[in-house]
Amino acid sequence: MRKWASFPLKEGDVSRQAHADFPEQAIYERETGRSGFFGPATHFHHRHAPTGWTDWQGPLRPHLFNFNEIGKDNANSPWAVPNLLFNAHCKMRTWRLTENMSKLVRNADGDELLFIHEGSAELYCDYGHMTVRDGDYIVIPRSTMWRLEPKEPMFILLIEATNDSYQLPEKGLVGNHAIFDPAMLDTPKINDAFKAQYSEERWQVEVKRHGQVSVITYPYNPLDAIGWHGDLAVMRINWRDIRPLMSHRYHLPPSAHTTFVAQRFVVCTFVPRPIESDPGALKVPFYHNNDDYDEVLFYHAGDFFSRDNIEKGMVTFHPAGFTHGPHPKAFQAGLEYRKKFTDEVAVMLDTRDALEMGEAALATENPEYVNSWKVKP
């Protein structure tokens, strides 16, 4: 058994409460902590912005990708698109689909999470039929057969929990019904639309295992269930159904917005909410060291209030090992309390293991992103 050494101390001029009521001579706070936002932590108060670098040499730097430029040609299978950010426990890809999938697919490597960035479709799977739309998260358990029939062009973010499964986070003091009630989770139905696709015609299934695809042929459509019972199923929640935790006196850490949990990473969702109104409360994300987790943000909609010049479909990647936080204009706007509400929607992926960048992602990188924290004269 292990236990963190715990000895809360104070040195110098400090605030009594993290993220609020800073010392007069220091408007910048930096949090350094372990195990994401769950382990021991220290808060420093600085005279200068912790992101005030003037030059950066070497590979450890923040990255900005434009995933809108990837895969503009339609791919009929999710196994035909490249890994963009990945490690042994997690694979992130994007997929554009415009036509009905001609084959069923099955991921034998792990659970699949689909986030519908654009478009809508009819989903058919082992468990039945479901209509999906933009903003939907769809958790597909490992080895489930499924296919999509788009009703309009689709842009989908896929996050694979490699050799793992998706679960819901523990919600602690706020209770099981906070953020979203489990009753909000939708599951497929064996309805008339599902029964209408029963067929005695030839169908094929593309099965991905160890990153390799096998094709299994049936003389009928294997999506032919007439019923099912149990506590494992495809499940869907839309970001519009998420009611974020809020505090008008304290800026909550990203962990308060966790949506799904795997063993080595978490998926969080930032949705519109009121900005903290207490005069002493920090009103933008605090500067922090990402010492144990790589951090990825996929921007879905709105104006992300801590970033400049970010559009939907873009992705930021902050590897573990340096301090990051809001851009200068966003930080100043927070000090002046210019905005009273956020209107952003973003998907955050935090991984305990270092992510690699695929060639397709690197081809869309903006190399000037590392300079975007510089204060312009």
pLDDT digits (tens, 9 = 90+) for 361-374: 999 999 999 998 88
Examine the domain organization and report whether 232 and 94 are in the same domain.
yes
Residue 36 has pLDDT above 90, yes or no: no
Residue 15 lies in a domain: no
Would you tell me how many other CB atoms lie within 10 Å of the CB of residue 140?
26
Examine the domain organization and report whether 219 and 269 are in the same domain.
no
Residue 164 structural domain = 73-81+90-239
> For position 263, what pLDDT does the model report?
96
> Could you say which of 214, 239, 264 is where a domain stops?
239
Examine the domain organization and report whether 116 and 228 are in the same domain.
yes
CB 136 within 8 A of CB 193: no
Q: Is 63 annotated for ligand binding?
A: no
* H or E element that contains 290: none
Q: How confident is the model at residue 305 (pLDDT cuts 50, 70, 90)?
A: low
Examine the domain organization and report whether 98 and 208 are in the same domain.
yes
Instruction: Look up residue 174 and give its DSSP letter.
Output: G
Examine the domain organization and report whether 96 and 221 are in the same domain.
yes
Examine the domain organization and report whether 346 and 256 are in the same domain.
yes
Q: For position 278, which CATH number holds? A: 2.60.120.10
Bridge partner residues of 113 (DSSP) = 139, 159
The pLDDT of 197-207, averaged and rounded, is 98
Residue 225 lies in a domain: yes
Residue 288: name the closest of 262, 252, 312, 315 by CA: 252
Regarding beta strands 203-209 and 104-107, do their DSSP bridges make them parallel or antiparallel, or are they unpaired?
parallel
**Nearest-angstrom CA–CA distance, 338 and 254:** 22
Give the CA distances from residue 210 to residues 340, 348, 355, 356, in Å, rounded to whole numbers and listed in that order: 48, 26, 18, 17
How many domains are contained in the chain? Answer: 2
Residue 8 lies in a domain: no
Q: pTM of the predicted model, to two decimals?
A: 0.92
Which carries the bigger pLDDT value, residue 225 or residue 175?
225
Residue 11 lies in a domain: no
Q: Is 324 annotated for ligand binding?
A: yes
Instruction: Give residue-wise pLDDT tens across range 261-288.
Output: 999 999 999 999 988 888 888 777 788 8
Q: What is the average pLDDT value for the chain, to the nearest integer?
A: 91
Known catalytic residues are 251
Q: What is the identity of the amino acid at 80?
A: A
CB 237 within 8 A of CB 184: yes
N- to C-terminal Cα separation, the chain: 53
Q: Is 73 annotated for ligand binding?
A: no
> Could you say which of 217, 239, 261 is where a domain stops?
239
> Could you say which of 176, 206, 239 is where a domain stops?
239
Phi, psi of 240 (to 5 degrees): -70, -15
